[in-house]
Amino acid sequence: MASMYDIDRPLCRAPDKENPAALPALPQHARLPINRCNLPAIILGGLTFQRAPAALAIDGVAALHRPLFNLLDDIEAGEERAQRFAGYMASHFSLAQPEEAGLTINQPRPRAKASYLRVVRGWAFDPDGREAAVLKGWVESRFGLMPRHHGDSLREAGSPAWQRYVEMRAAGLYGTNALEAQLDLLYAYSQYEFARQFPAQTHVSLYRGVNRLVDHETIADGDSEPLEKIVLLNNVSSFSLSRERAGEFGDSILSVDVPVPKLAFFSRLLPGMLKAEDEYVVIGGLYRVRLVTL
């Protein structure tokens, strides 16, 4: 009987996909065994996820805040959606009336102004500061990806640098009103809004200026281009949509195709949220990157 296929073997002559077993895995020291989203860190932090991403959902956020997203579904204008989101955050977390959430006004170190917006602005001002420690701790908790740098290398657990990071994270969360839950909802809204604006897009090409590639953890060289590397990024990093803008921050540029589910938030999400118009804050893990020399 003649074959109905145009090849006479049951297997293709050449694979059209990378062999997952041949790809470096996310190192054990860079991840937690558990997290609070629908995929484990070893999956969402790996190279296969970069190529073929899936939606990430933090536990309980969609169910708890379903009324907000039902409301946003009926709003066509992005500006109005941003206003409704900001209003919902202020109301749900009592941002304007922190005493309603249990804040004691006369306490020695009041944290009434600590909010998701303060974390975002603190990150933009100092990626090694207290608010940045909160953001890195949030990624660690929700996605299971360990921070790799905060003022100094965090590759050695229990080191003085690690202890400083833990102390800063704790200080940043102390006396706040569900600050990490606020970041949960910010991430969910970021994913929702990006899907509304760019429904067919799975990746964003972003750039990061670097002075010394050795400051990044290179896991392996790429196999398709001489300047391609596989690097382990910090669990949260800033990138730019603009190659020219990224070039202002280093002698070389890392070019990365970032999966949309790994966008924590971005500058155009809310008016005035980040100073840089093209800044994207990216959840880390293993990435295949291309080194572009200026």
Mean pLDDT of 231-250: 92
- Residues 149, 171: one domain? yes
Greatest distance between any 2 Cα atoms in the chain: 88
Which of 170, 174, 188, 182 minimizes the C-alpha distance to 116?
A: 182
Picking from 164, 197, 230, the residue at the C-terminal end of a domain is 197
The reported pLDDT for the residue numbered 100 is: 63
Task: Supply the range of the domain harboring residue 210.
Answer: 203-293
Residues 208, 254 contacting (CB under 8 angstroms) = yes
CA angle 86, 90, 96 (to 5 degrees): 135
- Residues 266, 184: one domain? no
Task: Please spell the DSSP secondary structure of 4-34, one letter per residue.
Answer: SSSSSSSS-SS-SS--GGGSPPPPGGGB-S-
- Residues 216, 243: one domain? yes
As given in the structure block, the two tokens for residue 76 are 């066509």
- Residues 140, 243: one domain? no
Residues 131, 123 contacting (CB under 8 angstroms) = yes
Could you report the per-residue pLDDT of 6-64, keeping only the tens digit for each?
A: 333 333 333 445 565 578 999 999 999 999 999 999 999 999 999 999 999 999 999 99
In a domain, 266, yes or no: yes
SS3 state of residue 61: helix
- Residues 135, 65: one domain? yes
Picking from 170, 197, 224, the residue at the C-terminal end of a domain is 197
Q: How many domains in the chain?
A: 2
The reported pLDDT for the residue numbered 224 is: 64
Specify the amino acid at residue 76. E
Q: Where would I find the beta strands (DSSP E) of the chain?
A: 203-210, 217-221, 228-240, 252-259, 263-266, 279-293
Picking from 163, 197, 231, the residue at the C-terminal end of a domain is 197
SS3 state of residue 220: strand
Could you report the per-residue pLDDT of 157-214, keeping only the tens digit for each?
A: 889 999 999 999 999 998 888 999 999 999 999 999 999 999 999 999 999 998 877 7
In a domain, 215, yes or no: yes
Q: Does the pLDDT at position 274 exceed 70?
A: yes
